[in-house]
Amino acid sequence: MTYPHDFRADRAWALAADAADPLAGLRVEFLIPPHGDAEQVYLCGNSLGLQPRATRQALIDELDDWGNLAVEAHFRGRHPWMPYHGFVRDDLAGLVGALPSEVVAMNSLSANLHLMMVSFYRPTRERHAILIERRAFPSDHYAVESQIRFHGYDPATSLIALDPDEPNGTISDAAIERALAKHGDRIALVLLPGVQYLTGQVLDLKSITRAAHARGCVVGFDLAHAVGNVPVDLHDTGCDFAVWCHYKYGNSGPGAVAGCFVHERHARSDRPRFAGWWGHDQSTRFQMGSQFVPTPGADGWQLSNPPILALAPLRVSLEIFKRAGIDRLREKSLALTAYLAWLIETQTGGALSIATPREPARRGCQLSLRVNGPRDAGRSLFEHLNARGIVGDWREPDTIRIAPTPLYNRFADCHAFVEAVKEWAAPR
């Protein structure tokens, strides 16, 4: 272990841990928003990741290539637009543990979820249900319900919602297995998160996939809170598809182009799909025929020529991840989040409870915190933090999410957060 786990509560310990951190140099590659004359303590990378400094120039380069080369930039640009999505694809495959042919950056998360369900949710009279979690992100819930209705089924009978069964609102592996044992033969699709957005729980994608496949279900994952947060080894999980966004831990800017994974075994799938010309086989795309021949692999689900101005920030960000290494980032993240949890549990006098699982393997960067006290205590703490330039996020009705990310956060940031909590809790 490169990172210390012999935590102490004094600030000197945090500063020493930061000074010894081999990844500390990455922080200067990001723009940290100011707070007065200082910098924010930004602990909100789970919601919107910070801007890499290199992003601005990458965008200017594309604008200049457009200005100077216009249509020729497709071939002669510094990063030629024609093969552009390929530059992104290879680094993305590295980040999510997939083969390059299994991933593509396109559209937005919810749009990709629909495209994947068009191909991978094929309900029959016997098998028409989708298993999701009761507290799934609303967009996922809406997408699933609308797909069920689109096929002429009724969410009342075709949507199976998995209830949290653990005290803090997390879901045990056993609960997933029970749901599969009970409903498996009518479940067409299992759609679960890699990291649950409210609780921060990491799910075991490989064992879920194995159990669901054993019951004949198709398996898709929403990795919105997983990609760039924890290593996911998507190919190895064996899941059928996955979707995610890049504006959270992916640091690619608001509404960034999203990601999509289709397992190699479906590379030449003849499943139905919604097609567009950019999914057509590259070698004959420009013959402009009317017979759709999909490019093998995830590329075959593309619809349109890619938005270069939106891909440039993703290219920059993936380059940083490649240099840092997701496994090394995870090692730092384990220490950062364990330190934050330790400070909260030992230094805040019980002001906060942690809803996120304790086991390191069952959580990523984020800790979801409940404020003990009256109904409005949570908001009051949240406002106290904001006034001090400490940025987390608030999820109704009672959760503060705090996510130290290993790319740009420091042990000192965790320390500052807890000092502010103590200050808020003291006079009460």
Ligand X SMILES: *Cc1c(COP(=O)(O)O)cnc(C)c1O
Find the binder of ligand X among 55, 108, 119, 237 (CB under 6 A).
108
138: annotated binding-site residue?
yes
Q: How far is Cα 220 from Cα 218, in angstroms, rounded to an integer?
A: 7
Is 148 a binding residue for ligand X by CB under 6 A? The answer is: no
Nearer to ligand X, 143 or 340 (CB): 143
Is 251 a binding residue for ligand X by CB under 6 A? The answer is: no
Find the binder of ligand X among 45, 123, 169, 193 (CB under 6 A).
193
Q: How far is Cα 169 from Cα 356, in angstroms, rounded to an integer?
A: 9
247: annotated binding-site residue?
yes
Q: What are phi and psi of 394, to 5 degrees?
A: -115, 130
Is 246 a binding residue for ligand X by CB under 6 A? The answer is: no
Is 249 a binding residue for ligand X by CB under 6 A? The answer is: no
Q: Give me the helices (H) in 121-231, please.
A: 138-150, 155-158, 173-183, 205-214
Q: How far is Cα 275 from Cα 146, in angstroms, rounded to an integer?
A: 20
Smallest separation, CB 68 to ligand X (Å): 33
Q: Taking a C-beta distance cutoff of 8 angstroms, is the pair 356, 376 a contact? A: no
Is 153 a binding residue for ligand X by CB under 6 A? The answer is: no
Is 110 a binding residue for ligand X by CB under 6 A? The answer is: yes
Site for ligand X in 53-82 (CB under 6 A): none
Q: How far is Cα 301 from Cα 108, in angstroms, rounded to an integer?
A: 13
Nearer to ligand X, 150 or 277 (CB): 150
**Region near ligand X per CB under 6 A, out of 221-229, 307-315, 359-367, 402-410:** 221-229
Site for ligand X in 323-342 (CB under 6 A): none
Is 140 a binding residue for ligand X by CB under 6 A? The answer is: yes
**Amino acid identity for residue 181 in this structure:** A
Find the binder of ligand X among 109, 130, 219, 226 (CB under 6 A).
109
* Burial call 383-421: b when 16+ CB within 10 Å, e when fewer: eebeebbbbbbbeeebbbbbbbbbbbbbbbbbbbbbbbb
Helix (H, G, I), strand (E, B) or coil at 236: helix
Is 137 a binding residue for ligand X by CB under 6 A? The answer is: yes
Nearer to ligand X, 251 or 295 (CB): 251
Is 120 a binding residue for ligand X by CB under 6 A? The answer is: no
Smallest separation, CB 245 to ligand X (Å): 4
Is 222 a binding residue for ligand X by CB under 6 A? The answer is: yes
**Amino acid identity for residue 129 in this structure:** A
Smallest separation, CB 116 to ligand X (Å): 13
Cβ of 270: how many Cβ atoms within 10 Å?
7
225: annotated binding-site residue?
yes
**Region near ligand X per CB under 6 A, out of 18-26, 105-113, 212-220, 389-397:** 105-113
Number of residues located near ligand X, criterion CB under 6 A: 12
DSSP string spanning 147-168? HHHHTT--HHHHEEEEPP-STT
Is 224 a binding residue for ligand X by CB under 6 A? The answer is: yes
Q: What are phi and psi of 30, to 5 degrees?
A: -120, 150
Site for ligand X in 367-406 (CB under 6 A): none
Is 133 a binding residue for ligand X by CB under 6 A? The answer is: no
Q: Taking a C-beta distance cutoff of 8 angstroms, is the pair 403, 415 a contact? A: no
Cβ of 158: how many Cβ atoms within 10 Å?
22
**Region near ligand X per CB under 6 A, out of 31-39, 120-128, 217-225, 283-291:** 217-225
Q: How far is Cα 342 from Cα 319, in angstroms, rounded to an integer?
A: 32
Q: How far is Cα 414 from Cα 382, in angstroms, rounded to an integer?
A: 15
What are the Cα distances from residue 13, in Å, to 18, 81, 337, 366, 415? 9, 48, 15, 22, 9
**Region near ligand X per CB under 6 A, out of 81-89, 108-116, 150-158, 207-215:** 108-116
Binding-site annotation: residue ranges: 109-110, 137-140, 222, 225, 247, 277, 305
Residues that bind ligand X (CB under 6 A): 108-110, 137, 139-140, 193, 197, 222, 224-225, 245
Binding-site annotation: residue ranges for pyridoxal 5'-phosphate: 109-110, 137-140, 222, 225, 247, 277, 305
